[in-house]
Structure 1
């Protein structure tokens, strides 16, 4: 059960469904063409009526290319560390994770506060790995709804549990700096397993991450 809403948890049909093939991160990183980025940075300045040779803009194409390379080639490090545990049927929650990404529709930044929960089944994911997983999928052209789905998929893949919940509260520059130019936050959620089928479990998770 995946949700997207501005106020409350209203059901919405998923776009680019849960079963879509995930972007291969290693292949994505290899596609960065840094010299071409430098050229495009200069061309972009010219296209918007600027002089790339004036003082203040001489290093802008390089800085712009560097920021793209850093964004795309981000290395999350090891994300698959799990520990054997006696914990069975215990809810594990991590909240307050802050990630930044780029909207694939406008290539403008958005920021999300991420909360993740799962029901432990003899395996506990290392605490730092939650942030690494969230950042791994944020460092690409992205949609907030799909980001939540991919985080949930990865938690399931690593821990083996289908009982996973992810909530994201995002602020999108494409809404605040263009179009209606109105500040606001979008909340989306992914609820699977008992988080979907059992309202008490779902409500407990939502209370814990408040």
Structure 2
């Protein structure tokens, strides 16, 4: 019988890092003010916020911003004692989350694959998805998102043997600027043995490619 150890899902490190960002839980969204600003934006775009179809748009947009930037931080990251899992490669893929490009405020879809080498205990599988969802709930860049997930997993497992690969579809590149709809961005963070063990690194790359290599 395995023993579950509940651990709070917290910011991976208190040290200042160039990729660090404010925790979503520290934000306060004034939805009334946001709705006013959205209404003003509609006017500046030549629209009438009082017309049919737009009457409730500012309120709905404000509510969405509040929901998006206020993720649920109440869940705990749980690890389970499991001595038989020592020295195995564990890879969790197929995680798809939405975030917003902080340069253009346009959506980006991020497909995440994460791997680690457990030692004495394993991370509850659903926690990988919750970690990805929580970090996606902010204005972002893909590079920082990738780093944040890797740092939290390293803190959670107590080891640097963590690798994270992210494949992003960015609407700021697909629907504006060069408008390259098929463009995709791949970022990867490797730590601990994933940096020094060529076999382990290759194994993760094979799994990650099978998970995020599609269209």
SS in 1 for 2:89: strand
Per mean C-alpha deviation after superposition, the further-off stretch among 122-131 and 17-26 is 17-26
Q: Please, which of 146, 163, 166 is the counterpart of residue 165 of structure 1?
A: 163
CA displacement, residues 140-181 of structure 1 (integer Å, 9 cap, x when unaligned):
001101001000000011111100000000000000111011
Distance 1:21 1:172, change over 3 A: closer
Q: Please, which of 78, 82, 85 is the counterpart of residue 81 of structure 1?
A: 78
Deviation at 1:76, TM superposition (A): 4.8
Where structure 2 has 5 or more consecutive residues not aligned to the other structure, the ranges are 1-15, 211-215
Q: Which position in structure 1 is the counterpart of 2:153?
A: 155
CA displacement, residues 15-37 of structure 1 (integer Å, 9 cap, x when unaligned):
xx956444223212xx2111111
Richer in strand (by share): 1
Whether the 8 Å contact between 1:79 and 1:133 is mirrored in structure 2 is no
Deviation at 1:84, TM superposition (A): 1.1
Alignment of 1:12-31 (within 5 A): 20-28=19-27, 31=28
Q: Which whole-Å CA distance do the structure 1 matches of 2:23 and 2:136 have between them? A: 13
Distance 1:168 1:108, change over 3 A: same
SS in 1 for 2:173: helix
Deviation at 1:78, TM superposition (A): 1.4
Q: Which whole-Å CA distance do the structure 2 matches of 1:179 and 1:20 have between them? A: 25
Q: How many residues align?
A: 192
Does residue 33 (structure 1) correspond to residue 30 (structure 2)? The answer is yes
Distance 1:20 1:146, change over 3 A: closer
SS in 2 for 1:205: helix
Whether the 8 Å contact between 2:77 and 2:156 is mirrored in structure 1 is yes
Q: Which whole-Å CA distance do the structure 2 matches of 1:59 and 1:36 have between them? A: 14
Whether the 8 Å contact between 2:135 and 2:145 is mirrored in structure 1 is yes
Alignment of 1:45-124 (within 5 A): 45-86=42-83, 87-124=85-122
Whether the 8 Å contact between 1:76 and 1:132 is mirrored in structure 2 is no
Q: Which whole-Å CA distance do the structure 2 matches of 1:20 and 1:180 have between them? A: 26
Per mean C-alpha deviation after superposition, the further-off stretch among 126-135 and 17-26 is 17-26
TM-score by length of structure 1 reads 0.87
Distance 1:106 1:37, change over 3 A: same
Alignment of 1:195-206 (within 5 A): 195-206=194-205
Where structure 1 has 5 or more consecutive residues not aligned to the other structure, the ranges are 1-16
Q: Which whole-Å CA distance do the structure 2 matches of 1:74 and 1:179 have between them? A: 31
Q: Which whole-Å CA distance do the structure 2 matches of 1:200 and 1:94 have between them? A: 18
TM-score by length of structure 2 reads 0.85
Q: What is the Cα-based RMSD across aligned positions, in Å?
A: 1.4
Does residue 190 (structure 1) correspond to residue 192 (structure 2)? The answer is no
SS in 2 for 1:168: strand
